């Protein structure tokens, strides 16, 4: 189970590492349901390149495609970033605590040095 979620987490971060895929997700956040052609329009890449990006996002479960007639619609899969958000939150809490302790230590050392100068 842990191996599966680690693999999924790796896939999510890998998918998010590409600026075009992040832009696709940002666009779907603003316009929740778009056809592939409408989604591809503003990008300076070919339609096949956009389709590859969509495949990567769909394979990891970040988006969902549905077909209505001849039109394929794309939308964000609700809750698909929860695993990554949970991971980031755990690390944010760890680093916040560690950095707070470091700041307290540095402030104490600074006060100590100021006291020694007087």
Query: pLDDT by residue (tens digit) across 44-91?
Result: 999 999 999 999 999 999 999 999 999 999 999 988 889 888 888 888
Instruction: Give me the pLDDT at residue 57, please.
Output: 97
Q: Are strands 63-68 and 71-76 parallel, antiparallel or unpaired?
A: antiparallel
Instruction: Examine the pLDDT at 2 and tell me if it is beyond 90.
Output: no
Instruction: Give me the pLDDT at residue 63, please.
Output: 97
Please give the CATH number for the structural domain made up of 2-76: 1.10.10.10
What value does the mean pLDDT of the chain take?
88
- Asked whether the CA dihedral 87, 92, 93, 98 is positive or negative, the reply is positive
Beta bridge partners of 105: none
User: Burial, 98: exposed, middle or buried (Cβ in 10 Å; 0-12, 13-18, 19+)?
Assistant: exposed
Tokens encoding 57 = 């996002």
**Binning pLDDT at 50, 70 and 90, where does residue 3 land?**
low
Residue ranges per structural domain of the chain: 2-76, 81-118
């Amino acid at each position: 189970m842990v191996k599966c979620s680690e693999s999924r987490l790796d896939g999510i971060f890998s998918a998010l590492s590409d600026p075009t895929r992040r832009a696709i997700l940002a666009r779907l956040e603003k316009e929740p349901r778009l056809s592939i052609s409408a989604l591809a329009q503003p990008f300076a890449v070919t339609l096949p390149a956009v389709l590859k990006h969509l495949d990567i996002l769909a394979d990891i479960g970040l988006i969902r495609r549905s077909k209505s007639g001849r039109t394929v619609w794309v939308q964000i899969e609700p809750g698909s970033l929860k695993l990554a958000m949970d991971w980031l939150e755990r690390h944010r809490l760890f680093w916040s605590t560690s950095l707070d302790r470091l700041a307290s230590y540095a402030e104490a050392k600074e006060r100590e040095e100021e006291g020694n100068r007087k």
